[in-house]
């Protein structure tokens, strides 16, 4: 049976995977092509999910692993929020994301070529500006990273058990 910290970490992981699933449906079903910053945020969401699930598994050995995983998830959520804010406030005003940090990282990692259906860069940041219910996707991502960060902080500060 999972304790409350493990349940919270599991919920965070599922929320992050759901965010990536929504992005993939938006891309592959509705034709919303992602930019470099979009796919970098997908990577961060998946990293948070992996860290949370690994924390749950390692927490079976020692409870402090769950708190450590939650702390790392806080840091990753902050990085994701910064990426989303940069995409919204700077990159979306640029004609090209070419040679920005996100573009260089995704290309050098080989993820864009290795998993193009998930991490392929298919649009410039300006072209990738899309709204959902009147709010740009980058702001939805920012809000979700903020929520994930708060939930992970709660998990990190909970007493072991």
Q: Domain with 92 in it: what CATH number? A: 1.20.1550.10
Q: How many domains does the chain have?
A: 1
Per-residue pLDDT reduced to its tens digit, 45-98:
999 999 999 999 998 888 899 999 999 999 999 999 999 999 888 877 766 666
Rounded alpha-carbon distances, angstroms, from residue 157 to 5, 43, 69, 96, 151: 10, 25, 11, 41, 10
C-beta atoms surrounding 91 within 10 Å: 26
Which range of residues forms the domain containing residue 63? 4-157
User: What is the model's pTM?
Assistant: 0.91
Residue 22 tokens, joined: 């929504």
């Amino acid at each position: 049976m999972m304790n409350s910290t493990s349940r919270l970490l599991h919920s965070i992981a599922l929320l992050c995977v759901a965010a990536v699933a929504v992005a993939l449906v938006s891309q592959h079903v509705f034709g919303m092509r992602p930019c470099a910053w979009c796919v970098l945020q997908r990577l961060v969401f998946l990293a948070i999910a992996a860290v949370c699930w690994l924390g749950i598994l390692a927490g079976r050995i020692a409870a402090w692993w769950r708190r450590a995983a939650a702390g790392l998830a806080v840091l990753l959520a902050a990085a994701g929020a910064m990426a989303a804010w940069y995409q919204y406030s700077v990159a979306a005003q640029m004609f090209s994301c070419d040679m920005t940090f996100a573009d260089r990282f995704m290309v050098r990692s080989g993820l864009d070529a290795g998993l193009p259906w998930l991490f392929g860069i298919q649009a410039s940041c300006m072209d990738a500006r899309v709204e959902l219910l009147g709010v740009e996707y980058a702001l939805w991502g920012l809000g979700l990273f903020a929520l994930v960060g708060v939930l992970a902080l709660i998990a990190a500060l909970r007493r072991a058990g």
